[in-house]
Amino acid sequence: MEFCPDCKSIMVPSDGVLICRRCGKRLEMKKGDNLVSRTEQKERRMTVIEDSEAAGLPTTKYKCPECGNDTAYWWLRQLRSADESEVRFFRCTKCNFTWREYD
């Protein structure tokens, strides 16, 4: 990565020259200049809840849509962008059916 000697902004390559996006200064690329771009991937993680009682999840009175039981474990997850509300997950304490609720 090369920086502009005048305004210290990042210089971008274009047709064998480096051009400053801010002030427009142009520098010839040296023969030995290697331009490398890297993209890092974030590791995706999934929460798997196998034994809800052992995980210490709180319970609430909420009717299960599958069996009609009135008690469910619950937890929150941020699945969408940060400016949107979290998603509430529920798991029936009787039949282990899991469902979600959005705002």
pLDDT in tens, 6-62: 998 888 888 888 889 889 999 888 766 666 656 677 777 766 666 645 468 899 999
Can 50 be counted among the known catalytic residues? no
Residue 43, in any domain of the structure: no
Residue 47, in any domain of the structure: no
Catalytic residue among 70, 84, 86, 101: 84
> According to DSSP H, which parts of 15-90 are helical?
52-55
Read off the pLDDT of residues 66-99 as tens digits, 9 standing for 90 and up.
Answer: 999 999 999 988 877 777 788 899 999 999 899 9
pTM summary value: 0.47
30 with 58, same domain: the answer is no
Count of structural domains within the chain? 2
Residue 67, in any domain of the structure: yes
Can 40 be counted among the known catalytic residues? no
Backbone angles phi, psi at 55, to 5 degrees: -75, -10
pLDDT at 33: 61
57 with 30, same domain: the answer is no
58 with 95, same domain: the answer is yes
63 with 27, same domain: the answer is no
Catalytic residue among 40, 50, 83, 103: 83
Domain coverage including residue 8: 1-38
pLDDT at 53: 56
pLDDT at 98: 92
